[in-house]
Chains A and B, each alone.
Chain A
Amino acid sequence: MDWQGQKRAEMLMQVLLVAAAVAAFLVGYLRGDFQLMLLVYAGGVVLTALVTVPNWPFFNRNPLKWLDADEAERHPRPQVTAAGAAAGGKKKSGKNK
């Protein structure tokens, strides 16, 4: 998913869940059936999960432009000089090289 997609997914999740809760309450109240309310709500929750959790293509409409491998090699990581390493060696050890 891209950043826009993540924002959409979160918004959809909240809207769908609130809608499911409201719909479930109304159905349950009008039919006088508490269990029906819980079933409708459970259905709404499952639907919401199916729509927002998996990495659907429509969440990836603004894809990020990752740097490809050849381009990355042409810009290597800056190397630390020997003098600098001696002075700041204690701090650097233990971190990823």
Chain B
Amino acid sequence: MASHLLYNIEETVAMILFGIGFTMLLLHRNLIKKIMGMNVMDTAVYLFLAAKGYIQGRMVPIVTDGIQEASAYMNPVPSGLVLTGIVVSVSTTALMLALTIRLYERYHSLDLDEIFMQVKKEERS
């Protein structure tokens, strides 16, 4: 069992990172750390995809010296997915950071619990 984990070291690390990122996004109170958690989570998925797409001993899928058969190259789709995923996660990160800035300007805190407390207080008054 342990040897399997070692053999698939990239996938193991990716899953551990995913767990760390997910937990950070879910449980951390600091908004910036939450966003970092989100990025760790997304990056873990990209690592997983990249590790799965790579095939030992094959070439980058760019035809330069006339070799046509597919077995000479590794799978290009996961790399494409990683690129798309990066674009998506950049835009969500930007949106979250922009929201964080607005929240900080308004409540002078990055602590989510504190922000919600202030929101409640605002509501009552």
A and B interact: no
